[in-house]
Amino acid sequence: MKITTIGIDLAKNVFQVHGVDEHGKTVLKKQLKRDQMMPFFANLPHCRIGMEAYGSAHFWANKLQELGHTVKLMAPQFVKPYVKTNKNDAADAEVICEAVSRPNMCFVPIKNGGQQAVLALHRARQGFVKARTVQANQIRGLLAEYGIIIPQGIVHIGKRLPEILEDGENGLPGTFRQLIDRLGNHLKELDKQVNELEVQIQTWHRENAASKKLAQIPGLGPIAASALVASIGDAKNFENGRQLAAWLGLVPRRNSSGGKPTLLGISKRGDTYLRTLLIHGARAVIRVAERKAAHAGSWLAGVMERRNKNVAAVALANKNARIVWALLVHGRDYQVDYGSAAA
């Protein structure tokens, strides 16, 4: 029997494989070690392979695609409903094999090595930003124990620390001064790492035509544009802009029954980092719109009149996500008055 569909339960060293034929009958149950994966699939006729989007999934997807197989990645939460009995590696592989054959299954875009490298820069930068915030709050909290209050904002810590350390009348013990000096140097190093990674991201952004195209949208800068391009990959994987917005968790959750539609808050599914960048960018646009009368009568001004700022920010982020899809799919440049010009 010819194997048409295979489910792989990924791991670090031992992989479980489950294969079925065109009638759905199980014809393969096998456990493979890491060094056996490529030889096994190289000798296997081309088929459809399903995997959960866990760690190393994109690596194996690219490797298996090079061998001519059709690889599909699925979010784990979409695979779990197909579990029937107890959990083990063989059962997981069988469930994955069944899930990938469903016609209405939602798949995760496969990222190439370049996309993964750019996203690694973003993840590392995000980690340094969090560590910088933690360090700043620790310095502020320790100084507050000695009655020294620093205003909010990391920039104020860099300005005030030299004055605090040089002030001999503020009652700080020598040991504590050395500690604060050490923590301040650590904060400077974290800030340096963030800035260096931002330079690398901006360099990639300037060399990527799609990223520069997205940066024309108000509310999207080099950081957001590069992250979106690297995460989305081929935008044609989404049928329309609403699907991309839903993938980012920017559409309402539904709890409808009996023919009565009930819309709740946004679903917050998908990548939290991308959604955060879009919403923060939308907030920046709203702050500018509040100060400028030129936005009066615009779509955004109408939303801001009807709803609060947070709702308006999410609505603008949703709109920007749809614009991103349109620009990537149709290869257009952003036009401020595109809607009115088309009308």
Domain of 227? 215-330
User: How many folded domains does the chain comprise?
Assistant: 3
Output the pLDDT for position 296: 62
- What is the structure's pLDDT at 252? 87
Please state whether the predicted TM-score (pTM) of the whole model is above 0.75: yes
- Predicted local distance difference test score (pLDDT) of residue 343: 47
Angle of helix 222-232 versus helix 272-291 axis, rounded to 10: 140
Domain-located, residue 343: no
The residue out of 148, 174, 207 marking a domain boundary is 207
Q: Which residues pair with 137 in a beta bridge?
A: none
Q: Are residues 95 and 119 in the same domain?
A: no
Angle at 61 between CA 17 and CA 91, to 5 degrees: 25
Tokens of 141: 């909290």
Q: Looking at residue 205, what is its pLDDT?
A: 95
What's the CATH number where 101 sits?
3.30.420.140
Strands of the sheet with 70-74, listed across from one edge: 26-33, 14-20, 5-9, 48-52, 70-74, 107-108
DSSP designation for 218: T
- Overall size of the chain counted in residues: 343
CA-to-CA dists, residue 208 to 213, 226, 227, 327, angstroms: 9, 8, 12, 14
In a domain? residue 94: yes
Of the candidates 168, 190, 207, which is a domain's last residue? 207
Helix (H) or strand (E) holding 51: strand 48-52
Angle in degrees, 0-180, between the axes of helices 299-306 and 309-330, rounded to the nearest 10: 150
Domain check: are 202 and 225 in the same one? Answer: no
Position of tokens 């330079």? Answer: 199
Distance CA 23, CA 32 (A): 25
Q: What is the pLDDT of residue 292?
A: 75
* Residue 341 included in any domain: no
Is 243 part of any domain?
Answer: yes
Average pLDDT for consecutive 10-residue bins of the chain (343 residues)?
90 93 91 93 93 91 94 91 87 93 88 91 96 95 92 90 88 91 95 96 94 93 94 87 91 84 84 93 90 71 87 93 93 76 50
Question: What pLDDT is stored for residue 238 in this prediction?
Answer: 87
Specify if 28 maps to a domain. Answer: yes
Q: Which of 108, 140, 158 is the last residue of a domain?
A: 108
For residue 179, what pLDDT is reported?
Answer: 95
- One domain for residues 151 and 164: yes
Burial of 294 (0-12, 13-18, 19+ CB in 10 A): exposed
Say if 264 falls within a structural domain.
yes
